[in-house]
């Protein structure tokens, strides 16, 4: 008997976030002490890593000084 469900890879799960840090906003975490999910439309790429932010203001703050985060 064959399973009705498609095979899933543990190494490349289909439900994984396309952003680093699980899609959480680093600026919210470090500056606001709040764990917030980023919004996909507010993202940036830094050193080959895609990062998602809670707001455009958080993204812009990160881009002004990315090495702080």
Q: Which residue, 44, 3, 1, is CA-closest to 21?
A: 44
* 3 pLDDT more than 80: no
Structure tokens at 29: 């975490």
- The contacts of residue 49 (CB under 8 Å, 6+ apart) are 20
pLDDT in tens, 53-67: 999 999 999 999 999
pLDDT at 20: 86
pLDDT at 60: 98
Q: Angle at CA 24, nearest 5°, toward 20 and 25?
A: 105
pLDDT at 22: 86
pLDDT at 14: 60
pLDDT in tens, 29-55: 999 999 999 999 999 999 999 999 999
What is the residue whose two structure tokens read 């999910």?
37
């Amino acid at each position: 008997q064959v399973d009705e469900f498609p095979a899933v890879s543990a190494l490349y799960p289909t439900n994984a976030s396309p952003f680093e840090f699980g899609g959480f906003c680093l600026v919210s975490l470090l500056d606001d002490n709040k764990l917030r999910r980023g919004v996909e439309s507010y993202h940036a790429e830094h050193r080959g890593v895609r990062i998602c932010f809670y707001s455009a203001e958080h993204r812009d703050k990160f881009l002004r000084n990315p090495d702080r985060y």
